[in-house]
A and B are shown apart, each in its own frame.
Chain A
Amino acid sequence: MLSLLKIEWLKIKKYPAFWWMLGIVLLTYPGINGIFINVYQQFTTRKDAAGSFAKMVLGNPFAFPETWHTVAYFSSFFVLLPAILVIMLITNEYSYRTHRQNIIDGWSRTDFITGKLIDVLIISIVVTIVYIATAIGYGIYADTDNLNRWTEQLHYIPLYFLQTFAQLSIAYLLGYLVKKAFIALGIFLFYYLIVENILVAYLKYKKIPITRFLPFEISDNMLVAPAFAGNFGKDAKSGYEAALALVPQQVALTLVLTALIWFCCYKLHNKRNLS
């Protein structure tokens, strides 16, 4: 296992796209959260009634411990950045034909898939570290009075990690099956950004309650919209609480789906001709 990790790191550490992805993630995660904190501050610093109303309704979503939740929610919009990298890492193996060479040199088929699993884990961990750093940064910046509450709601860290890993696993599966980088990226972006969103909107409009079972929605529903969202509208509070109650189910479903994806990859790869 350790030697597989070492070999995958040899492949990744000099891959320019890895460092580009890391750089962009380092900019976008604090960036998107920065935009929201900016909007929040503009609202709440107003001296009029609207300002104090906003402060009352919103609370401070970036103060500890809410920052764990808020930053996780906003950062998760950008999973497509590491997803592009995951797709590149697997489709590169096909275009360089190193998926054959690794086997010729003495890896088993299982070793190869485990190597890729390690890649997806490495990227998920890196992205989660950026998330943790961003959440801590904004937590300190937003409200120093709440610093002692930093240990509350820490469960958002494993939830964020699991969501990232689950969604990157879907990206991996696409790259693994499609083999061609641009086609896989095209399908991924088209489905992730357009198809599933339209499906969700349509099914909700038709009041067919199955949206939470769609591939990305399964894990999206582990990180429900931040607490302040529950303070808008007359049904919002009950909707928010219902969504929170479903989180354990969504976690279980996510684990099942992700395990199934990797199980299929292992099974298929052990039978496949590597052409």
Chain B
Amino acid sequence: MEIILSLDEISKSYGPIKALKEVSMQIPRGSVFGILGPNGSGKTTLMSIVLDVLKANSGTYSWFGKGNHPTERKKIGSLLETPNFYHYLSAVDNLNITSAISGRGNPEDINRVLEVVKLTERKNSRFSAYSLGMKQRLAIAAALLGNPQVLLLDEPTNGLDPVGIMEIRDLIKSLAQKGITIIIASHLLDEVEKICTHVAILKKGNLLTSGHVDEVLANEDIVELAAADMEQLKKCIAEMGGYSSIKEEHQRLQVHYPLGTANMEAINSHCFRNGITLQLLFNKKKSLESKFFELTND
């Protein structure tokens, strides 16, 4: 698989504070790569380094396997932290500058991206007259200029209203379906869970885990069951064996099995043979949120 971005032992400190500690990861082409972590975990620092806004103290990174030359950066549509534009210029003039620097897009394309983010009506207004949400939309438009094959988005839904958040999420989904590689940092976990194929979780500058979502989340099988007589059900499952733990909560039984050993058919028929009719039976993937808390809690 082609690697879009690879990081090799990147470290960064601000005086005594270590913002990143020897972080290494690889981002494959076509993935939607979520970078997660609590506030201050180093997400933005990491993105700033690969965009050459910050200099790493040690370690290297490489875009498209070709190093960190500015020409490689031009191919990436980026939104880092805040929308940064010339306050006295209009949306169109600002995008003209983005286009001239990056070589992405042309006048028709500027109109297209402004239409995508619904700023066409205000395209000739000065940036300083924009609301927070409109500024964020313009930043997304700038990232989309010229249909880049790679997008790097840091909290793209910041400052947007609920409708805006939904629109941007749909936009990201549709771009991902077109095969565009998307690197996204967010603390909205359910957002990320809905769209990401890969995740990396950072905490205080340490990379806790990274890889395919299924690999990161599924380190055991979790089966949820419910029946009219919960006591009877619990006894029955315990008799069957093979599990690693059983928990009961909210009138449901949560049974944990070692990865790949839960056999749903066997569980169902075993219960039925013992006179228990199941009301509920499903194989539950661990939610990103619970995994996140499990990893980041002290």
Interface residues of A, Cβ cutoff 8 Å to B: 3, 6-7, 10-11, 14-16, 92, 96-98, 100-109, 111, 271-275
Contacts and interface: CB of A to CB of B under 8 A. Distances in A.
A109 B101 CA distance: 13
Contact of A101 (B54, B55, B85, B93): B85
13 contacts: A6-B100, A7-B100, A10-B96, A10-B97, A16-B88, A101-B85, A103-B53, A104-B52, A106-B74, A106-B102, A111-B70, A273-B54, A275-B54
A11 to B, nearest CB: 6
B51 A104 contact: yes
B84 A100 contact: yes
B292 to A, nearest CB: 28
Contacts of A97: 82, 84
A105 B98 contact: yes
Interface of B: 51-55, 70-71, 73-74, 78, 80, 82, 84-89, 93, 96-98, 100-103, 142
Contacts of B97: 7, 10-11
B54 A105 contact: no
Contacts of A102: 101
A96 B85 contact: yes
A105 B89 contact: no
Contacts of A15: 88
A105 B74 contact: yes
- Give the residue among B86, B96, B101 with the most A Cβ atoms within 10 A: B101
Given A3-B100, A105-B98, A100 B53 contact: yes
B55 A96 contact: no
B55 A106 contact: no
Nearest to A111: B70
A108 B70 CA distance: 6
Instruction: Give 6 nearest A-B pairs by CB, closest first.
Output: A106-B74, A101-B84, A97-B84, A105-B101, A108-B70, A105-B102
Given A16-B88, A100-B53, A104-B80, 12 more contacts: A7-B97, A10-B97, A11-B86, A101-B84, A104-B78, A105-B74, A105-B78, A105-B98, A105-B102, A106-B73, A111-B70, A271-B55
Nearest to B74: A106
Contacts of A105: 73-74, 78, 98, 101-102, 142
Contacts of B70: 103, 106-108, 111
B74 A96 contact: no
A96 B86 contact: yes
Given A100-B84, A111-B70, A106 B101 contact: yes
A10 B80 contact: no
A115 to B, nearest CB: 10
Contacts of A16: 88
B93 A96 contact: no
A55 to B, nearest CB: 51
Contacts of B103: 106
Contact of A274 (B54, B86, B102): B54
A14 B93 contact: yes
Nearest to A10: B97
A15 B127 CA distance: 13
Nearest to B51: A104
Contacts of A111: 70
Contacts of A107: 70, 101
A218 B80 CA distance: 43
Nearest to A93: B86
Contact of A98 (B74, B84, B93): B84
Nearest to A101: B84
B287 to A, nearest CB: 33
A10 B96 CA distance: 8
Contacts of B93: 10, 14
Contacts of A273: 53-55
